[in-house]
Amino acid sequence: MSEKGASKDELWRERIAEQERSGISVKKFCSERRFPENQFYYWRKRLRSRHQPVRFALVERGATPSPAAARAELELVLVSGARLRIGTGVDVITLRAVLEALRA
């Protein structure tokens, strides 16, 4: 994918995430930001269709973090003591799927 395509993907990921956090309808969100509602739905569907399967990694307590884990921007420590490390570049759809799996 070209850099231009990648930046457009990221722009729409950010817009979709912003709408989800806002709690307002897609229609109102798009109207306030002055872009077509159908364009929002197109990009949301397009980005979801590219969605990769969620991968989990077992993190053992007391283990030395790997270099990749050390670069994680966010670490959630669950009541059980398990840790969930979230690195840069994770998209909102993947993160939502992981959090929903943890709640189940």
Beta-bridged to residue 83, according to DSSP, are 77
Element (H, E) at 75: strand 74-77
d(CA 98, CA 1): 26
Q: What pLDDT shows up at residue 2?
A: 44
Q: Which of 6, 22, 5 is nearest to 89 (CA)?
A: 6
Q: What pLDDT shows up at residue 39?
A: 95
Where do the domains of the chain lie? 1-50, 51-104
Q: What pLDDT shows up at residue 31?
A: 96
Does the pTM surpass 0.75? The reply is: no
d(CA 18, CA 86): 19
Q: pLDDT (tens digit, 9 = 90+) per residue, 41-93?
A: 999 888 887 755 555 555 555 555 555 555 667 777 777 777 777 777 777 77
Q: Is 99 or 56 the better-scoring residue by pLDDT? A: 99
Two structure tokens written together for 1: 């994918």
Contact 13, 47 (CB under 8 A): yes
3-class DSSP assignment, residue 86: strand
d(CA 79, CA 82): 7
* 7-11, 24-28, 66-70, 75-79: range with highest mean pLDDT: 24-28
Cα 76–chain centre separation:
15
Q: Is the pLDDT of residue 20 over 90?
A: no
